[in-house]
Structure formats: structure tokens, C-alpha cells
């Protein structure tokens, strides 16, 4: 096999795994309240596309604005590193399910 074929095979497998995983997570709790951290990033955006309509209410708690304007209705600006603000947001929202997808996006090794 050539490198291009192997690379596209890996991409297809990764994509199939991602779609399967998102579908399984989406089916975990239908109709409840979902609190999502990191829903404005690449994975979070795809997760919201896959399952936002399956929940009664969704909150995307993220420091960054959503990549898609249609996801803005779910967004609440917040930083997970601010513990008191995070706990207050979770308590006020009252979720049935919490999914943590927030992650650092920089490569700074010092912090």
C-alpha cells in the first residue's frame, strides 16, 4: 500500500469511530439537561451537531465563542479554570449529564 492510501484509511477509521462514539454518547440520556465544556472547539462542535436536539436543554460552557452561529444559543461564556464560576454555572443549570471536552489548545510547556 502507498502512504496516501494508508493515510486515507486511517482518516476513514478515525471518522467512523468518532461518529459511532458520538452517537453512543448522544443516546446515553435523551431528553435531559446536558452541560458541556469545550463545546466551541472542533470536537465539541461536532458533538453538538450530533446530539443537541436529543436533549431538553443544552449549555456549552466555553471560554471561546462557538464555531457555528447556530450553536450560539447554547453558549455561556466561562473558563473552567475559574472553579467557583464553573461550579456556580453547573449548579444554576442543574444538568442530568455533564460531558467534559474542554482542553488546552496551545503548546506552551511552561504552564
SS (H, E, C) 35-64: EEECCCCHHHHHHHHHHHHHCCEEEEEECC
Assessment of whether the complete model's pTM goes beyond 0.85: no
pLDDT higher than 90, residue 63: yes
Mean confidence (pLDDT) of the chain: 80
pLDDT at 5: 43
| pLDDT confidence of residue 97 | 87
Amino acid at each position: 500500500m502507498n502512504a496516501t492510501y494508508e493515510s486515507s484509511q486511517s482518516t476513514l477509521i478515525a471518522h467512523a469511530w468518532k461518529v459511532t462514539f458520538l452517537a453512543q454518547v448522544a443516546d446515553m440520556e435523551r431528553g435531559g439537561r446536558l452541560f458541556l465544556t469545550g463545546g466551541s472547539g472542533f470536537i465539541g462542535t461536532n458533538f453538538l451537531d450530533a446530539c443537541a436536539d436529543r436533549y431538553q436543554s443544552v449549555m456549552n460552557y466555553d471560554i471561546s465563542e462557538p464555531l457555528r452561529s447556530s450553536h450560539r444559543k447554547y453558549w455561556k461564556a466561562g473558563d473552567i479554570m475559574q472553579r467557583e464560576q464553573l461550579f456556580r454555572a453547573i449548579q444554576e443549570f442543574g444538568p442530568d449529564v455533564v460531558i467534559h471536552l474542554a482542553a488546552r489548545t496551545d503548546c506552551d510547556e511552561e504552564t
